[in-house]
A and B are shown apart, each in its own frame.
Chain A
Amino acid sequence: MGRRRRPRGVKGTVTAPIETTGAAAEAQPEAVLQGVEGKKIVGRSLGQIAWLRFKRDKVAVAGAIVVILLILVAALSRPIQSWLGLDPNSPNRDLIDPNTTLPSGDFGGMSWDHPLGVDPKFGRDLFARVLEGSWVSLIVAFGATLLSVAIGTVLGVVAGFYRGRVDSLISRLMDVFLAFPLLLFAIAISASLQGGAFGLEGLPLHISVLIFVIGFFNWPYMGRIVRAQTLSLREREFVDAARGMGARGPFILFRELLPNLVGPIIVYSTLLIPSNILFEAALSFLGVGIQPPQASWGGMLNQAVKYYEVDPQYMIVPGLAIFITVLAFNLLGDGLRDALDPRSR
């Protein structure tokens, strides 16, 4: 095309709608950035924009604060116990009514020394036990989530990126895992590993088994999300653009696709954590998770069931701990989803 075909003045020719007269429309870029004069606009990444959006969501911020506090408490649970002179496993037989084996005094034996009361039969401090249970719950939930996310992300990306046979294979594998009777399997594994395995025994063994069972059987949830995201991302034109410039598979995967997957992975990990906390509690409740006398939220619930009519306090304390934790993580996860991926609403 040459200079000749740039009609400046329209000379009664058959005119196309794209024609513009004069230089007015010529050099005027549609000014989005030039909008506010003089004011320096700093380039904002999508992450920064998400943060601004997140900050405005009060409920999510509250969830985030509670989550941070919970993590701090869980991480410092042992130091806090020794600082306050608490011991989750030391019995206080003097606080137990020997006839009923229930805590003597009102509200499950609440007192200044035992702000949340004591448990029946042994008189152990419930505050100390909830504190001790917090790190067990969170470490299992985080460990299991990390494991699911690692397996789910790798297999999901591979399935979505390479498609075809690889995808069919991985997708069927996910179906198999989702159809697996997870609870029965968990019970069987825990029971058979009770004595000790892999050079581990006691609490470390129970925690490892829980992380493995929950994490290894939950990955298809993550895998499906990552696979779907990868499938849709790889159809975007920027992937074609990269290929058109000579990009190979790894470049497309790591430079073009993965940065776009980070957001969804963070969001769904945050939403996976509370479900894993519930799972841990359920397994411990069923007696195949953390074993007594080690304190755990699920284990406490398990024992509290026997007393729920006569000592409801014992059930309320761990129940509330689970409820608050799960709720906080869910609120945070929903807020993150809205902030990072506003389309999914």
Chain B
Amino acid sequence: MTETEETGVVAGTTDESAAPLLRVRGLVRHFPITKGLLKRQVGAVQAVDGIDFEVRPGETLGVVGESGCGKSTMGRLITRLDEPTGGTIEFEGRDITHLPPGKLRPMRRDVQMIFQDPYGSLNPRHTIGGIVGTPFRLQGVEPEGGLKKEVQRLLELVGLSPEHYNRYPHEFSGGQRQRIGIARALALKPKLVVADEPVSALDVSIQAQVVNLMDDLQDELGLTYVIIAHDLSVIRHVSDRIAVMYLGKIVELADRKSLYEAPMHPYTKALLSAVPVPDPKRRTQRDRILLKGDVPSPIDPPSGCRFRTRCWKATEVCATTEPPLVALRTGHEVACHHPENAPDGARDDEPAKTA
């Protein structure tokens, strides 16, 4: 196997050698399940169960996975809206894993979140001006030229009229509300923006506008994004690198091009096959892989490889040994014993009796 030009970071604006903006090591979040009056713990939802990744300055990391695989939980952990049960989170080299709220405050200026629900994420009782102005008030920042002027500038930046200042959220459409959420997130010029399914609640016709707006703003303001999505179509055009999650784990992490052109994890391959292909010639080439069965419960995930209950390549070793996430090529990490588009790691293994 040779290192070809398609595996490197091709045209990214990011510098691979630069110190990462965010470094996550062995991140774990288990939600305890308690029973009875005494709140005895009887188990745990293993929402995020040991994930490692880095986010480099200026890049966009896309995170995809089916519903319930722990994407939102991961997003809430790295923005420290939630506290991990294990692992570490470093932001700009500083360990923020267990910082108490008071000490987190300064870092909150640099890390912002865009939420999924354009209806739930804006307080219905506040005006747009009040909503977009809140970060300044909370962080004690007095913008040049006054708060109102700065808020109106931000509204213009996201494509809204500055005259909307005194209006209320219920007067806006979903797409416009999402723009308001973006204006609020960008108010304090953050370094990292985590967007949790920023367009999945929007009309398909509007999704592109919002994604393109985020794309433009990234160029303009030099932002770093972590964008969460539940399928690969939304983030295809905006991600530099993509992490694929399954049941609380990252199963594949690669730059966009090699992930789309040569996916290694069977799950990624299945996800990719579900992305609509308009060109009929191509459609015949990649048949849609329909995954059998349901996603297993994160309370009691399968042994070994968590994907094995739905994997058509599963063998004995998949049930006994958990495949580690390793780089099979530069910049292409995968957690699978029998990867696609790469040499098999356990070629002689017996096929699994029950898949």
Contact = CB atoms under 8 A, between A and B. Distances in A.
Nearest to B124: A46
Given A2-B219, A25-B208, A43-B127, 19 more contacts: A1-B60, A2-B11, A5-B237, A15-B278, A15-B279, A17-B207, A17-B233, A17-B276, A18-B204, A18-B207, A30-B206, A44-B171, A49-B170, A241-B113, A242-B134, A244-B81, A245-B184, A248-B101, A259-B123
Determine which residue in B101, B199, B204 has the highest number of CB atoms from chain A within 10 A of its CB, and name it.
B101
A18 B60 contact: no
Contact of A244 (B79, B120, B126, B233): B79
A contacts with B: majority SS: loop
Interface of A: 1-7, 12, 14-20, 25-30, 32-33, 41, 43-46, 49, 236-238, 240-248, 251, 256, 259-260
Nearest to A247: B138
B221 interface: no
Contacts of A46: 124-125, 168, 170
A33 B276 contact: no
Contact of B233 (A7, A16, A43, A247): A16
9 contacts: A1-B60, A14-B277, A17-B276, A20-B212, A33-B167, A46-B168, A245-B188, A246-B138, A260-B123
A3 B219 contact: yes
B221 to A, nearest CB: 12
Interface of B: 11-13, 60, 76, 79, 81, 101, 104-105, 108-109, 111-113, 115-117, 120-127, 134-135, 138-139, 159-161, 164, 166-168, 170-176, 179, 181, 184, 188, 199, 203-209, 211-212, 215, 218-219, 225, 232-234, 236-240, 260, 275-279, 282
A237 B117 contact: yes
A242 B134 CA distance: 8
Nearest to A28: B209
A4 B206 CA distance: 21
Contact of B173 (A4, A15, A17, A30): A30
Q: Which 6 A-B pairs have the closest CB atoms?
A: A16-B233, A43-B167, A259-B125, A237-B121, A246-B108, A237-B120
A17 B282 CA distance: 16
B159 A29 contact: yes
A259 B15 CA distance: 46
Nearest to B170: A46
A234 to B, nearest CB: 12
A1 B239 contact: yes
Query: Which one of A15, A27, A259 has the highest number of Cβ atoms from chain B below 10 Å of its Cβ?
Result: A15
Nearest to A262: B125
A5 B241 CA distance: 13
**Residue among A1, A41, A241, A246 with the highest chain B CB neighbour number at 10 A:** A1
Contact of B120 (A49, A238, A242, A246): A238
B270 to A, nearest CB: 16
Contacts of A7: 237
B208 A20 contact: yes
Nearest to B139: A246
B13 A2 contact: yes
Contact of A16 (B108, B117, B168, B234): B234
Contacts of B166: 43
B168 A45 contact: yes
B124 to A, nearest CB: 6
A244 B188 CA distance: 12
Given A15-B278, A25-B205, A30-B176, A1 B215 contact: yes
A46 to B, nearest CB: 6
B12 A2 contact: yes
A288 B182 CA distance: 62
A240 B237 contact: no
Contacts of A4: 11
B209 A26 contact: yes
A17 B237 CA distance: 11
Contacts of A43: 127, 164, 166-168, 171
Given A29-B209, A30-B175, A43-B167, A238 B122 contact: yes
A106 to B, nearest CB: 59
Contacts of B13: 1-2
A232 to B, nearest CB: 11
A46 B171 CA distance: 10
A29 B175 contact: yes
A251 B113 contact: no
Contact of B215 (A5, A15, A45, A260): A5
Contacts of A41: 171
A29 B125 contact: no
A26 B213 CA distance: 9
B115 A245 contact: no
A320 B121 CA distance: 49
Nearest to B202: A30
A46 B209 CA distance: 28
A17 B204 contact: yes
B239 to A, nearest CB: 7
B250 to A, nearest CB: 20
A88 to B, nearest CB: 46
Given A1-B60, A243-B81, A245-B139, A6 B279 contact: no
A248 B234 CA distance: 34
Nearest to A251: B138
Contacts of A259: 123, 125-126
Q: Indicate the member of B113, B218, B234 with the most A CB atoms within 10 Å.
A: B113
A244 B113 contact: yes
Contact of A245 (B135, B179, B211, B238): B135
A236 B121 CA distance: 7
A236 B119 CA distance: 9
A44 B171 CA distance: 8
A9 to B, nearest CB: 14
Contacts of B112: 244-245
A242 B101 CA distance: 13
B53 to A, nearest CB: 17
B179 A33 contact: no
Nearest to A10: B278
Contact of B104 (A18, A240, A246): A246
Contact of A33 (B126, B164, B232): B164
B198 to A, nearest CB: 11
Contacts of B170: 46, 49
